[in-house]
Amino acid sequence: MGPNFNDANSLFKFVVQDGNGVKGLVDAGLSKVPHQYIQPPEERIEKQSASSTGLSPIDLSKLDGPDHDKVVEEIIGAAGNLGFFQVVNHGVPLELLESLKESAYSFFGQEPEKKAVYRKGSSPSQNVKYGTSFVPEKEKALEWKDYISMVYTNDDDALSYWPKECREVALEYLRTSLNMVKKILQVLIANLGVAEEDSNKTIDSLIGLKMVNMNYYPKCPNPELTVGVGRHSDLGSLTVLLQDGIGGLYVKLEEDKNGKNQGGWIEIPPINGALVINIGDTLQILSNGKYKSAEHRVRTTSTKSRVSIPIFTIPKPTEKIGPLPQVVERNGLARYREVVFEDYMKNFFGNAHDGKKSLNFAEI
């Protein structure tokens, strides 16, 4: 037995509008997923179908030592191939990573009314939003995920308006991660030919907007029919992601010209103490396609809930983003046009996840 949703609207109202989320459904004792969550066969995720990455994490502390050049090569290689890599010795304290996961559980573990306060339209701050799935109004099938999203403007705002269950840790996570993000971006943009004296300005424009999310994927009675997050690429420059030990994050291999990689999926395995870094659309555009904004997705499981905590670094809405002239000069042809980032964002958040289609908006 479980809750009964007699018509299509009652489920949508319960989960989305009333803010009960997927967690509310599961807590009500659901024994099979409602049809609104059933993905078409081509979007379902088979656990066995992915291989694990043999790639070892990159040791960022070595950027400051004799192995500097080797680490630079590793970062550039990963950004240009898979678009995903993991890092250790990243400067974000390991105890903080544990506190972050705990604080995600304390936020999502609250009564629905406490979370629903942060629903769009009722949230005390425009910068804080609790929701479920990605764009529920537009999706053919909903994603099995609840989230809280916190946009950073300044410390005072964050400490006043971000949920108290997670505000301090999320802020410290952002602060310590940004140092690392800047170091990685420095490596990536130097390799694109940006002169050292212009480097800080370029980095600032790439990380003008910062957002910390906490994703909660409740356990699911039918993981074979659902997705936690559907196929997508991230919008911004770099994403930093903390995942717990459950696993289920998959990245798509690009099909290469020789047809060698058939576009299979590989899992980014959980590594205790590591952080996942991935390239977003902005860096793919800026680099004229040299760096890959990788398509990725998340599986659900029937045994345990999963949490993940991404930081998205994104240009400010007023920023203009296009391929760097230095890179176009080398390539001979610009693959993307210059876009005002606000327009790019509107298109991104106005459509359901659909692989790398978001990039079409800037493609020439």
Ligand X SMILES: O=C(O)CCC(=O)C(=O)O
Q: Which chain residues interact with ligand X by CB under 6 A?
A: 213, 215, 229, 234, 241, 243, 249, 296, 298, 308, 310
Nearer to Fe ion, 63 or 151 (CB): 151
Select from Fe ion, ligand X, none the partner in contact with residue 215, using the beta carbon and a kind-dependent cut-off of 5 to 8 Å.
ligand X
Q: Which is nearer to ligand X, 183 or 306 (CB)?
A: 306
Which positions ≥6 away from 24 have C-beta within 8 Å?
Answer: 14, 15, 112
Contact (Cβ atoms closer than 8 angstroms) between residue 51 and residue 238? no
Least CB distance from residue 306 to ligand X, whole Å? 7
User: What's the closest the beta carbon of residue 257 comes to Fe ion, in angstroms?
Assistant: 26
Choice between 39 and 308, CB closer to ligand X: 308
Site for Fe ion contains 281 (CB under 5 A): no
Build a one-symbol-per-residue string for 194-233: x at contacts with Fe ion by CB under 5 A, - elsewhere.
Answer: ----------------------------------------
Residue with tokens 């509008």: 17
Supply the minimum distance, in Å, between the C-beta of residue 240 and ligand X. 11
- Strands, E, within the chain: which ranges? 51-52, 58-59, 84-88, 128-132, 146-152, 209-217, 229-232, 238-243, 249-252, 265-267, 275-279, 296-298, 306-314, 320-321, 339-340
Q: Which does 298 bind (CB under 5 to 8 A by kind): ligand X, Fe ion, none?
A: ligand X
Residue 208 tokens read as 């003008």
The neighbour count for residue 265, using CB atoms within 10 Å, is 18
**Cα(44)–Cα(364) distance, rounded to whole angstroms?**
31
Task: Name which of 39 and 213 has its Cβ closer to Fe ion.
Answer: 213
Closest to 124 in 3D by CA, of 70, 76, 161: 161
Site for Fe ion in 233-262 (CB under 5 A): 234
Q: Residues binding Fe ion: what is the number (CB under 5 A)?
A: 1
Residue 35 is encoded by which pair of tokens? 């049809």
From the list ligand X, Fe ion, none, pick the one residue 249 interacts with, judged by a Cβ distance below 5 to 8 Å according to partner type.
Answer: ligand X
Tell me how far, at minimum, the Cβ of 32 lies from Fe ion, in Å: 27
* C-beta nearest to ligand X: residue: 308
Partner that binds at residue 103, options Fe ion, ligand X, none, CB closer than 5 to 8 Å by kind = none
Cβ neighbours around 219 below 10 Å, total:
17
| Closest distance of CB 239 from ligand X, Å | 7
- Tell the smallest beta-carbon distance from residue 215 to ligand X (Å): 5
| Number of other CB atoms surrounding residue 322 within 10 Å | 15
Give the one entry of Fe ion, ligand X, none that residue 281 binds, where binding means its C-beta sits below a cut-off of 5 to 8 angstroms depending on kind: none
> Which residues are CB-contacts of 16 (< 8 A; sequence separation ≥ 6)?
131, 132, 133, 136
Q: Which helix (H) or strand (E) holds 348?
A: helix 341-349
Q: Could you tell me where the DSSP H helices lie in 193-324?
A: 196-206, 281-286
| Shortest CB 83 distance to ligand X, Å | 12
Helix (H/G/I), strand (E/B), else coil: 238: strand
Pick 143 or 234: Cβ nearer Fe ion: 234
Smallest gap from Cβ 314 to Fe ion, in A, equals 12
Q: Which is nearer to ligand X, 247 or 323 (CB)?
A: 247
The nearer residue to ligand X, 86 or 308, going by C-beta atoms, is 308
Cβ closest to ligand X, residue 20 vs residue 358 = 358
Pair 125, 80: CB distance under 8 Å: no
Binding site for Fe ion (CB under 5 A): 234
